[in-house]
Amino acid sequence: MLKQLTLAMLLSSLPLYTFATPNKTLANTPPMGWSSWNHFGLGIDDATVRAQADAMVTSGMRDAGYVYINIDDGWEGERDANGILRPNNKFPDMKALANYVHSKGLKLGIYSSPGPKTCGGYEGSYQHEEQDAQTFAAWGIDYLKYDLCSFFNIILEEENEQRARQLLRNAYIKMHQALQKTGRPIVFSLCEYGIDDVWQWGATVGGNLWRTTGDIEDNYKSMARIGFGQAGLSSYAGPGHWNDPDMLEVGNGGMTTDEYQTHISLWALLAAPLFAGNDLTHMTAETIALLTNAEVLAIDQDLAGKQGEQVYANDDIEIWARTLADGSQAVGLFNRSQSPQDIQLSFKDIGFNHPVKVRDIWLHKDLGVLEKQYQTMVTAHGVVLLKITS
C-alpha cells in the first residue's frame, strides 16, 4: 500500500462538491469483520479465505458481530475480450467462494482501485467502473474497498487545482453510482489515506466509511499515532458513514497484550470499523478474548453512533469519552508512557455533577457508586476502559 501521500499543496482551500449520499440502509453501525491485508498481503487465495471464514465461525467471532470476510489486493486477473475482469488462478470461482462465505452466515468483501492498477500492480477499475460493479454484484459481493493507488498519479498530472479536486471526488462518485446501479447492497469503503480531509466530503460521494490515515503497522507507535490522531473528527461520523482509522493488528504479535487492549479500546471509543487483520486460524485464547469482549464491542456498536473525543491530554496521559445511547459514558484512561502512571478522572469533566456508577469493562467488574472522581494506576501503554452511568 502507499504509505506517504499528501495533496496539501495541490488541493487547498477550494469549494466542496456535493455529488451523492451514501446508502443509509448499510453500515448503520461500524462494519465488523476480517481483512486479508495486514497478515497475508498479496499472498491470499481461495483456500485461505475459506479457512478464515470457517475460523470466524468456530472462534465465536461471527456470533460476536464480525460478519465481513474481505479479500484485499491480490485476487485480480486479466480482462477478457469484452473487458470483463476475471480473478487470477488463485481464485478459480469467485461466485462459488461467495456462496461458501454466505453459507456460513457471513458476507464477502473485495478490493479494487479507481486507477488503472491496484497498489500491488494488479488490474484496477479505471474506465471499467460499471463493468466491475456488475461483476462484483453477480459474484455476490457485499463490500468494496476502493483504494486510490495509481489514480493518485492521474490527479497529480492535473495542473488546475479545482479540476484535481473534482477528479479525486469523481473517482469515488463514479464507482458509487455504478454500485447503486447494480441494485445490490454493497458497503462502499473509500481508501485514500485521508487526503484532502476526506471526512469532510466522504459521505457526499457515497462512502459508508473512509480511511482517515495511511496504513497501520503492527507496533505501538504506529497504532497510537493513528488512533490518538483522530481527535477532532467526531462530527463527521454517524450511522451509515464512519471515520476509518484502518484495520486491527490484534493477534499479529507486534504488540503486548496491554497495547492490543489499548488498540481495540480506542477503536471502540472512536466508533471505528473493526476488521481483524490477523490469521484467524491460529489464534490464542487471549487474542480471541481481546477480539470478542462483548462489553467492548457494545461500545463500538452503540446505536447512537456518536464517535468519542479526547477530553483530556497532558504529556503521556489521555482521556477519551464517548456518549452512548442510554446516556452513559464510555471512558478510556490511556497511559502513553513507558512506565505505570496514576490517572484521575473527574466526573464533572464528562458531564456528571452527581454520584455515578462505574464499571471496569476489561475486568468485567462493577466499582460501585462514586461521588466526584475515580483514580487508578494504568500500566505502561495500557488503558482502563470504564462505563459510567448516572
342: annotated active-site residue: no
Q: Three cell numbers at 169? A: 471526488
d(CA 278, CA 283): 8
279: annotated active-site residue: no
Nearest to 110 by CA among 198, 56, 205, 191: 191
d(CA 93, CA 87): 8
Torsion of CA 173, 174, 176, 180, to 10 degrees: 130
Which of 54, 197, 215, 360 is an active site residue?
Answer: 215
DSSP code for 192: S
Phi/psi at 52 (5° precision): -65, -40
Alpha helix positions (H), 41-188: 46-58, 61-64, 94-103, 129-139, 151-157, 161-182
d(CA 359, CA 15): 46
d(CA 75, CA 58): 25
d(CA 320, CA 231): 9
Residue whose entry in the numeric block shows the C-alpha cell 475459506? 50
Nearest to 236 by CA among 194, 202, 190: 202
Residue whose entry in the numeric block shows the C-alpha cell 471509543? 269
Which of 45, 46, 147, 279 is an active site residue?
Answer: 147
Which residues are catalytically annotated? 147, 215
